[in-house]
């Protein structure tokens, strides 16, 4: 796996030894309760656990620095756009208004809006480390075999494995085409004007689409020639049995979901409101 691509990296951490199926199930469970809940206490706890898990996974963040920067930019833009389109959404949500900075017209800064956007930020911190752990510590073939073992059709499992393999391949193609364009005199670095860089990246995107369609056709023909999908089942070269650690991860994820549901009942809804007492 080349530097900068977002794909599986071999390792010997506890997450590398887990089954792909257990990691996927835990990821789905935690994602579901994180996206549903706005209880800051739960989100802070999950965010801390996610960061600790990322540390334990021994993932080298330097190797995916570009991806992390892109995620950070998207996260900041989302928070900014949320404020621009609804600067007092938090006021309506928490039924309180604590003005911090008076702005122009409706563009004000309130404690309720900042608290709401802080919860949105926590959701990113909760989910991004877990998604990175899953992508960087799960071998596509082993993950496909694990899905098939828990009852998912091997056709679907194989399609998921191909998609996971294609993510780093797509990134490698982008870097190769970008370097080829620069070798031909097309400047795409920060020294070029923004408009020129945008046009150059649009051309690269179109080239990637064409290459992707050609690759899909090639893979489809190869699988048809090998009579893929004609039998009801298939064997797997790479398969990892479920161990005690896998069961513990799933149980812990179910426990987090149970805590989240209990907080729903305690708060009489999805939101934790520190502004209204009594």
Domain membership of residue 69 as a residue range: 1-139+239-278
What residue has token string 């893929």?
Answer: 228
Are 70 and 108 contained in the same domain? yes
Quick: pLDDT tens for 148-177: 776 777 777 777 777 777 777 777 777 777
200 plus 132 within the same structural domain: no
Are residues 9 and 98 both part of a single domain?
A: yes
Please report whether residue 144 resides in a domain: no
120 found inside a domain: yes
Dump pLDDT digits (tens) for 43-94. Answer: 999 999 998 998 888 877 776 777 778 788 888 888 898 888 888 888 888 8
Q: What is the pTM assigned to this prediction?
A: 0.75
> Going by C-beta distance under 8 Å and a sequence separation of 6 or more, which residues neighbour residue 56?
13, 14, 15
Flag whether 146 is in a domain. Answer: no
Residues 29 and 106 in one domain: yes
């Amino acid at each position: 796996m080349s530097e900068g691509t977002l794909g599986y990296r071999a390792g010997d951490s506890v997450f590398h030894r887990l089954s792909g199926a257990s990691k996927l199930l835990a990821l789905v469970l935690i994602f579901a309760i994180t996206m549903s809940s706005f209880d800051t206490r739960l989100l802070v706890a999950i965010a801390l656990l996610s960061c600790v898990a990322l540390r334990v996974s021994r993932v080298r963040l330097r190797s995916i620095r570009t991806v992390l920067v892109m995620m950070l930019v998207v996260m900041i833009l989302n928070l900014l756009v949320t404020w621009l389109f609804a600067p007092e959404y938090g006021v309506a949500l928490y039924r309180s208004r604590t003005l911090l900075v008076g702005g122009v017209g409706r563009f004000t800064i309130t404690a309720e809006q900042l608290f709401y956007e802080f919860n949105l930020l926590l959701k990113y911190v909760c989910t991004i480390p877990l998604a990175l752990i899953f992508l960087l510590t799960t071998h596509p073939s082993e993950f496909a075999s694990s899905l098939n073992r828990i009852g998912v059709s091997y056709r679907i499992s194989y399609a998921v494995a191909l998609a996971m393999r294609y993510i780093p391949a797509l990134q490698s193609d982008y870097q190769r085409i970008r370097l080829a364009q620069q070798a031909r005199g097309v400047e795409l670095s920060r020294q070029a004007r923004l408009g020129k860089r945008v046009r150059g990246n649009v051309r690269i995107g179109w080239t990637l689409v064409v290459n992707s369609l050609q690759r899909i056709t090639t893979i489809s023909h190869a699988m048809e020639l090998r009579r893929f999908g004609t039998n009801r089942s298939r064997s797997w070269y790479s398969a990892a049995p479920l161990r005690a650690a896998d069961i513990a991860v799933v149980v812990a994820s179910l426990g987090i979901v149970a805590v989240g549901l209990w907080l729903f009942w305690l708060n009489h809804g999805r939101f934790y409101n520190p502004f209204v007492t009594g």
